[in-house]
Structure 1
């Protein structure tokens, strides 16, 4: 029986780890977590914020995920969007999901990431 989502693994091109670290820790505010030694040789890097983990894995013939994406729930979405914009990240807002405020952006290698927060009733 499934009890929880353990992690999501977007792909990244070889040699992109430094850019990913700068974005996921410096911009998004996540913490890098060490990969097990047996997996570290494959490249990539792992990040965590609360119970959420993203494992960026190296893919030799990488193509950014433009449609598939992690959806990350945030609190204070307006302030969080402003934080990303202050770092030069292009934030794309949309109001198409009833009951939520949300926006998306791209990580440094072009993968889509969605951020959402439930709206207060009547907003």
Structure 2
């Protein structure tokens, strides 16, 4: 099969939030994770929510009328210095649950201040014992 298109990268991930939770999002995505808040285009800003970027990762947080945090679906965000991130999250009161079930990676799960599930992972060095 020949394709006329190629995938380049994931542009962003969108997570649901309840109405009025933008300040909670800012406290987590900017305050804890040190991501930069992006200006939303005016037509989209009118819907509420907020967007953040850090490194090559962009997270859009969109308002839904009947918000329920995602317990299973989640973004998997690759980071450098995974232990430092785990310490920062824990220091800000976010649970860090380590999981060694992904070969070739160290990873843990946590959640944002609204209960959305998040996965953070770091590849093991090529010469690491697995």
Q: TM-score range by the shorter chain?
A: over 0.9
Structure 1 residue 119: Cα displacement: 1.1
**Residue matched to 2:53:** 48
**Residue matched to 2:107:** 102
Extract structure 1 runs of 4+ deviating beyond 4 A: none
Write out aligned runs for 1:15-94 (5 A): 15-94=20-99
Structure 1 residue 12: Cα displacement: 0.4
Structure 1 residue 25: Cα displacement: 0.5
Structure 1 residue 115: Cα displacement: 0.2
Structure 1 residue 4: Cα displacement: 1.8
Unaligned runs of 5+ in 2: none
Unaligned runs of 5+ in 1: none
Measure, in 2, the Cα distance between the counterparts of 1:4 and 1:76: 22
Q: TM-score, normalised by structure 1?
A: 0.96
Q: Radius of gyration: which is bigger?
A: 2
Q: For the aligned residues, what is the CA RMSD? A: 0.9
State the secondary structure of the residue aligned to 2:30. Answer: helix
Q: TM-score, normalised by structure 2?
A: 0.91
